[in-house]
Structure formats: structure tokens, C-alpha cells
């Protein structure tokens, strides 16, 4: 029988890393991501908007995904687009902010497709 549980290790070197235990064995969850050149794609208004999004979420919400979304949004500044950003953003941002984020990230997808 397979058992699956997730844990967040908040008070150790494992801080803010998500792990899965499968039949008692530790498996590290790996987020898939794409790399892009933020300096070529993002304008100052895009950067400001991402900061606005970060301010609207609870960066310390390890139980409901706020911390993960915060990490993914900060990752945009380093040129990382995480594949689950849309799922977490939909759950934690207002529909207006989500739609705006989706529009701004279309530029990233277009640059990755080129």
C-alpha cells in the first residue's frame, strides 16, 4: 500500500522546502521551471506589478501555498518561470490580479517559444 504525505520543515535547514514521503522514504518535490531573460522581457511596470502581487499574499502561509507563490513570484526577478505559478496565483490573488499576471507572463511565454 502506498502512503503519501507532505511536510514543510519550517525550523531547520530544510526551511521552505516541500518533501513527500512515499512508503517511508523521503522524496524531494521538484518544481519544473523555465529560464528567461527578465531584463529583456520585463519593463519597470511588470516588475512593479509582481511586487504588488507579492504584497497581497501571505509569504508565511506554508499550509495553503502562499509561501510557494511568493517564492515563484520572487523567482520571476531572477528569470525563473515556475510551471505551477498559475495554479497558486489563481488560489491566492484576486481575479483581477490573476488576469493581469497572466497577461504579463504571456510575454515570457512568447520569448520562450521564439
64 contact partners, CB below 8 Å, separation of at least 6: 91, 92
| Owner of C-alpha cell 509569504 | 59
Contacts 24+ apart (CB under 8 A), 7-13: 8/62, 8/63, 8/67, 10/62
Question: Which secondary structure element, helix H or strand E, spans residue 5, and what is its range?
Answer: strand 4-8
pLDDT beneath 70: ranges in the chain: 1-31
Q: pTM of the prediction? A: 0.70
Cell numbers given for 2: 502506498
pLDDT tens-digit readout, 78-99: 999 998 899 999 999 999 999 9
Amino acid at each position: 500500500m502506498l502512503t503519501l504525505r507532505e511536510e514543510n520543515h519550517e525550523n531547520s535547514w530544510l526551511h521552505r522546502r516541500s518533501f513527500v514521503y512515499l512508503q517511508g522514504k523521503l522524496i524531494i518535490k521538484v518544481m519544473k521551471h523555465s529560464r528567461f531573460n527578465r531584463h529583456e522581457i520585463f519593463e519597470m511596470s511588470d516588475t512593479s506589478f509582481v511586487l504588488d502581487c507579492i504584497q497581497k499574499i501571505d509569504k508565511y502561509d506554508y499550509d495553503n501555498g502562499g509561501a510557494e507563490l511568493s517564492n515563484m513570484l520572487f523567482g520571476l526577478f531572477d528569470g525563473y518561470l515556475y510551471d505551477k505559478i498559475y495554479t497558486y496565483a489563481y488560489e491566492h490573488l484576486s481575479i483581477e490580479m490573476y488576469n493581469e499576471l497572466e497577461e504579463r507572463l504571456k510575454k515570457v511565454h512568447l520569448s520562450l517559444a521564439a
